[in-house]
Amino acid sequence: MISKLIEIRDQARAKILEAKTIQELYEAKSLYLGKKSPLQEILGKMREFNADTKKEVGQKINEFKDMIEKEVAKRQEVLALAEVNKKLESEAIDVTLPAKNIKVGNLHILTKTIEELEEIFLGMGYNIAEGPEVEEDLYNFEMLNLPKGHPARDMQDSFYINPSLLLRTHTSPVQARTMLESKGKPIKIVCPGKVYRRDDDDATHSHQFMQLEGLVVGENISMADLKGTLSAVFEEMFGDGRKVRFRPSYFPFTEPSVEVDVSCFKCGGVGCNLCKGNGWIEVLGAGMVHPNVLDMAGYDSKKYQGFAFGIGIERITMLKHGIDDIRNFYINDPRFLRQF
């Protein structure tokens, strides 16, 4: 009987050592230590043995069970370590492989132009202001000296939401809002933002575009300050390679008013299809804040003066980067956008 027990023990040991996975090891364990194991079977027949054999067999079975348990635990440690090593190996990163080409997004060129202009104005001591795109007729027109029925409202064909609410046609309503908020104190702000007009889209016009409004209010402000400021900004933006001209114009909220043109980048000023033959591209409207606008916003127009301007962001960007169609900014072709 003892030799049979030794045979079972050796078989169990061999099976345990043969196990290549934890699963196989559990199967071997259950085979030799489970309820139906050969050792258990012999235990079930103990009744048939005499007292001495019973004692000897009982001791050996316990000893071998203990031994098998220990062998299982030892093998389990070895297999667990092997499995961890295998996993680590399979998940190892080969740092010599070429990296995946991850496409990184970049800021839109119009955002970059705005940031560039903001930097220039911040350097001149301006603050950045904001205003809503869905605007009240009151700020978009009335407070800017454009009462209902004023013929100059037709200069900016508008998207109305209801009779008193519209998509702002320019960033100038921020002038009125800022003056009301500033309650008679001096002002020096720029405000970038989107504006909307029922304009037909072409190479230089879009129904949605961006402006950067500027407003300075204080004492002893003159047209020379306006001209000096805008000339300095354009020199910073374009260097001295482009010509800039100030041309008399009309806006109901400024008096006198000017428009500023920059020489066309495409034809160098001789005239082409982009500049419609005149050699210049209009980039902004500006002027001295109309006394009515100052008075309506609570500023004494006898004491205070101001200048204001509204720069077309797309036009400036076209001039700076030689882009000959405004629609490129909004088609969102990555081949165009990636260039900047």
Q: Among residues 167, 284, 294, 297, which is the contact residue for ligand FA5, using CB under 6 A?
A: 284
* DSSP conformational letter for 216: E
Q: What share of the chain is helix, strand, coil (3-state, %, to 5)?
A: 45, 20, 35
Q: Which is nearer to ligand FA5, 170 or 320 (CB)?
A: 170
Considering only residues 189 to 228 of the shown chain, the ones binding ligand FA5 according to CB under 6 A are 197, 199, 205-206, 209, 211
**What is the sign of the dihedral through the CA atoms of 310, 313, 314 and 316?**
positive
61 lines the binding site for ligand FA5 (CB under 6 A): no
Measured at CB, which residue is nearest to ligand FA5? 312
* DSSP conformational letter for 58: H
Q: Which is nearer to ligand FA5, 8 or 284 (CB)?
A: 284
**Least Å from the CB of residue 311 to ligand FA5:** 7
* DSSP conformational letter for 143: G
**Least Å from the CB of residue 189 to ligand FA5:** 12
Q: Among residues 191, 287, 306, 328, which is the contact residue for ligand FA5, using CB under 6 A?
A: 287
60 lines the binding site for ligand FA5 (CB under 6 A): no
Binding mask 226-265 vs ligand FA5 (x if CB under 6 A, - otherwise)?
-------------------------x--x--x--------
**Least Å from the CB of residue 322 to ligand FA5:** 17
Using omega within 30 degrees of 0 as the cis cutoff, is the peptide bond preceding 98 cis?
Answer: no
Q: Among residues 16, 308, 318, 319, which is the contact residue for ligand FA5, using CB under 6 A?
A: 308
Q: Which residues in 87-202 belong to E strands, given as ranges? A: 127-128, 134-136, 160-162, 165-167, 187-196
Rg (alpha carbons) of the chain, rounded to whole number: 43
What the block records as the tokens of 65 is 């069970």
Q: Which is nearer to ligand FA5, 70 or 247 (CB)?
A: 247
**Least Å from the CB of residue 94 to ligand FA5:** 52
Q: Among residues 131, 252, 285, 306, which is the contact residue for ligand FA5, using CB under 6 A?
A: 285
What number of chain residues touch ligand FA5 (CB under 6 A)?
A: 25
Considering only residues 102 to 161 of the shown chain, the ones binding ligand FA5 according to CB under 6 A are 156
Beta-bridged to residue 216, according to DSSP, are 188, 307
CA atoms within 13 A on the CB side of 262: 25
Interatomic CA distance for residues 148 and 143, integer angstroms: 11
Judge residue 123's burial from the number of C-beta atoms within 10 Å of its C-beta, 0-12 exposed, 13-18 middle, 19 or more buried.
Answer: exposed
Helix (H) or strand (E) holding 223: helix 223-238
- Chain residues binding ligand FA5 by CB under 6 A are 156, 170, 172, 197, 199, 205-206, 209, 211, 251, 254, 257, 282-287, 308-310, 312, 314-315, 326
